Structures are given as structure tokens and as C-alpha cells.
Amino acid sequence: MRVAIIGQQAFGKAVLEAFTARGHQVAGVFVPPEVPGARPDPLKAAAVERQIPAHWFKSYSGEEARAALAAMKVEIGIMAFVTQFVPQSFCTLPPHGTIQFHPSLLPLHRGPSAISWAIINGRTKTGLTIFRPSDGLDEGLVLLRKEVEIGPDDTLGTVYFDRIFPLGVEALVDCAEAVVSGRAREETQDESQATYEGWVREAESRIDWAKHIDRVYDLVRGCNPAPGAWTPYNGRKLYLFDAKKSIARTFGAVKGVKIGQVAAVGPSSFTIHAQGGFLEVERCRIDDGKKITGAEAGITQGTLLGA
């Protein structure tokens, strides 16, 4: 099978390696334009190392991008972690079209931060979908779904790197083989079940200490390792990463300690009082600094956060 890969980063590289290992030919790759000063994209570097043509365009809508794909004479296009808009005029060029990876059980969690939102919303399962890209965001025909569990202490990092990443790489290869051989079946998404969320950015990742400890902990987990759930701290931003949750016997009330206040400081962590329990912070960051242990942050008992 002769394929083109449209993607980036470690996931795109892993997909290239998986197709090659299965005996397929990667005729070329498409990656985002380089950012000055940024590290070389892993997918591009892997392609160059294997002497596979690599292309990058500001837009896939132009004739130049379509001509580059047409010249490869591939049977199918593979979209592996794509953040640029790719129009149908590009996707439909290969005889068997294009397939795309998305890290949720579509039509749930359409959008760019799908795993984060599944965790933030307290879900106990999510997964991945391989589908036909359309001009609507994550709205195309579904070819394959794989479900994964979200454990009570899982983070964005553990769900993605330990489960969805390896399953997604394998699923793209399996699905491409099924499409080209004529074994694939397509299913329309149920729009009545669809949800869409945008990026998890500063506004979405701010902690509201008035919410129950369960919701606070879900936000911290869903933003770990990035962008980090945060709370105001003496005019600065305190980002919380590795943490543990404990439930208090009575809702909210701990004598002399307010909601959002640091209740204790230990050898490597500090503990914050929240509605219905406590959050022990083991790893954090202040403003744009590096990630450090809770103890290294120098936060003292009694500090009130969130104000």
C-alpha cells in the first residue's frame, strides 16, 4: 500500500514507523510550517532520515499542495494529529480518499482538546475514532472506534501516552488496510449525541475553589501535563500538576481553614482545603517557571489561593 501522511510530532512519526514496519510505502509527508527557533518536527525529521519527501504549506487549499499530493500517486491519505484545516479538494485526491485520527469516541468531544474535556467532565471512559475528514470539524463518517477506560487518578498524560497513542497508531494502519481492501464500513455520526469543546486555555483551566473537590481534581487531571490548572497566588499564577485527592468526612467545613486555603505543608507537597475535601499538590509551577515539587514552591500554611 502506498500512502501519504499528513501530521506532526511524535504521533505522526510513530504512524510513519508503523506503516513502514507493516511493509507499506510512505511516499511523502506533509507537516506544519516551521516556527523559527522551534525544535525540528519529529515526523519531518523521520521522513528526511528515510529520504521520504517532506512538504509544508501554510494552506492545503492551494494548487501547490494538491499538486504535491497528486505527484505522490498514493492510494490513501493518512491524517495523524493535524491542526491545520484540510479541505475536501485535498482529502479526496487519492483513489481511496483520506482517513483521520481523533482522540475521542465521536461524536462526543469534537474539537482540539478532546481528552482533556473527557477527564474534566468526569467521564470514566473515552477512546479514539478513525473517520473520514469533512469540511465540518470532526463530523465525517466513522470507520472505526476503540474505547479506553479513564481511571479515577488518570491524567491527560496517562490516558494519551499509555492508551490512546499506541491504540491510535495501530488503528490508523488497520483502518487504512481495510479501506484499500474494500473491507471498511462507514457509519454516520449521531448528531443528537454530539458535543464540541474548544481549546483548554487560560479561562478554561482556572480553578474555581467553590466547586466540589471532585470537580477541582478532574480539572487538575485534565490539564496535566499541559496547560496546567491554575489559581491566583499573591498576584502570580500557581499551576498545579501532580496531585492527590482526599474526601473530608463533612462537606466543606474544617475549623479555622477557608476554602482555597493551604491547610498543611509537608516535606514534598502542600495541601489545599477544597469543598468536601483536600488536594495535596506534589508538583506545580509558578508563572512561567519550571515545574517543581510542592515543597520547592515555598508556599506556607495559611496561604489563601484564588483571590
Boundaries of every domain in the chain = 2-193, 213-297
- Name the average pLDDT for the chain: 96
- Domain 213-297 sits in CATH at 3.10.25.10
The predicted structure's pLDDT at residue 307 = 82
Determine whether domain 2-193 maps to CATH 3.10.20.30: no
Asked if 194 contacts 214 with a C-beta cutoff of 8 angstroms, the reply is: no
Asked if 9 contacts 34 with a C-beta cutoff of 8 angstroms, the reply is: no
The pTM is what? Answer: 0.95
pLDDT band at 38 (very low <50, low <70, confident <90, very high): confident
- Rounded Cα distance between 16 and 28, Å, is 10
Interval 242-298: pLDDT, tens: 999 999 865 445 667 899 999 999 999 999 999 999 999 999 999 999 999 999 999
The predicted structure's pLDDT at residue 36 = 87
> Which of 6-20, 61-75, 217-231, 243-257 has the weakest average pLDDT?
243-257
The predicted structure's pLDDT at residue 250 = 55
The predicted structure's pLDDT at residue 176 = 98
The predicted structure's pLDDT at residue 253 = 52
